[in-house]
Structure 1
Amino acid sequence: MLRLYHLLLGSILLVSIPVGAKFVLPQFSPPKEVKSSAVVKLPNSNEGNIWQKILGNTAAPTNWQVAACEGNAPLLCVSSKGKRLGTVEINIYQLTNNEDFRKKLLAAGITSGSQVDYQSSQYQTQVLPVLKAWVADHYAAFAKDRQSEYGKEITFSAYPPQPVPIGKLQGIRYGFAGLKEQGGVKEQHIGHVAFDGSKLYVITTAFDPGTQTGKFEQLENLAIFQPYLYAIASDLRLP
C-alpha cells in the first residue's frame, strides 16, 4: 500500500501541477512500516566518503538500497535491483571560510568558536533564524539564476523553511521547484542545512537535468524516496 501511494504521488507531481501554482513539497512523516537497517560497511577504499561516517540507521522503500557511494565523493547512493536511481550529496563548509555566515551568527548573538549546548532551547532559538536567513539567500540566488536562464518559461516556487532535527542538531529543511509555463515540473530541489558551531552541513538532492551530482533521474523516484530521506537526515551521526 505504501508503494502504491508513493507511485500515485509521483504521477500526480508529474502531470497535475497547475500553471503558476505554488509548489508545496509533501510534509511526510517517516514511514512507520519500513524496517530500518544498520548502515552497510563498505570496503576500505570508500573510507573517504563522509557518508560512511555519519550515516545512521537507514530506511528505504521495498527492494531499494541506501548506502554510501563507492569512492571519495560525498554522495549517498539510492538504488534498486542493482540500478542507481539517485544520489544525495552533502557539503560541509568551515565557518572560518564563510564570512557572510559568521556575520549572521554575530548578529544573532552567537560568538564564533564558542562552546554551545546544541540541545538547549536558547541555542536553537538563536541559530534557527540564522539558518533561515541562509536559506533565504539561497532561494534568492537560485531565483535570480533561473530568471536569467529561463525568463518567464519557468516559475520559481519556494517551499517554506521548516525546522527539523538533523542528527543531534537543530536544522532547517527547505526546497523549491521550477514549474513549466505549460504545466509540469522542470526541476525540484530538496535540502537540509544545520550548523554545529564550526561547520555548516548542507545536504541536497534534486530532480534537475542540469545538476551533475546529488540528483534523481526521475521525479517519481525522488517523490517516493522523499519521506525516507527525511528519516535518514534525522538519524545522522551529527555532530
Structure 2
Amino acid sequence: MTFATTRSRSEENRISPVFWVLLAVLGTSGWAVANGYGNARFGVFLFVVAGWVVSLSLHEYAHARTALHGGDITIGAKGYLTLNPFKYTHALLSVILPVIFIMLGGIGLPGGAVFIERHRIQSRVKHSLISAAGPLVNVVFGAVLLALAGSGWFDNPDVTAVLGGVDQGISPLPAALAFLGFLQVTAAILNLLPVPGLDGYGIVEPWLSYKTRRAVEPFAPYGMLALFVVIWQTQAGAWLIKAASGVMSLFGVDAFYTAVGHDLFMFWK
C-alpha cells in the first residue's frame, strides 16, 4: 500500500512529455533563429508560441503548487503538477485563446485556470498568495527574457533580421526575446488588475465582504474577454504599451527590438 501511494505521488509530480516537447521546440527554434537556419520569421513564430505556452504552464503550475501547500490536496490527482497545459480546466481559455490574442493584438493576455477547491484553503492570506503566484512567474520569466535580450550575448552581425527586403540591423533572436519578454510584462500588468476572473481580483477577493463577492461572481467568466475588448478598442491599449516599454527600458531593451520581434512573429503578413 505504501509503495502504491509513493508511486502515485511520483506520477502526479512527473513532468509531462508535452512540456518536454515545448521546451525542445523552444530551444531548437531559438538555436535556428540565432544561427540563421531556415525561415527566420517562422522560426521566431515557433520560438514565441512555444515560449508563451511554457510560461502559461509555469504560471498555472505556480497556482497549483501554492494551492497544494495551502491545503488543497486534490491538486496532484488532477494532473496540475505535470506542467501539461492540456490538463487545465479549460484548454481553450488556458492555451488557445491567449495564443490567438497574441496573433491578433501582439499583447499577452492571461489564460484560463486550474480548478482549486477553495474551501480547503483556511487562510485569506493563503488565498491571496495562490492568486499572486501565477503573475509572479510572468514577472520573473519576463525579467529573465529582457535581461537576455539586453545583454548583447545574442547579437550576431552575420545574422540580421530582414523585413520587406530591408535589413533591420539587429539579430532576430534578441528581437524575439524582447517580444516574448514584452508579452510577459503585459500579461503581468493585466493579470494584476482587480478585474473579476483574473488573478488581481483573486488577490483582493478574500478581503472583500461576502455581499460584494456574491455581486461580482456572475461577471467573473467574462472578465478576460471584456479586458481584451477594452485594450483593443480604447486608449487603454496605448497606455499598456507605454507602461510595458517603460519596464523594458529598465533592462536596456529598446522598443525597436520589440517591434521587429513582433513583425517577425507575424510571418503570414
What TM-score, normalized to structure 2? 0.34
- Give the helix-richer structure, 1 or 2: 2
Rg bigger for which structure? Answer: 2
- Give the strand-richer structure, 1 or 2: 1
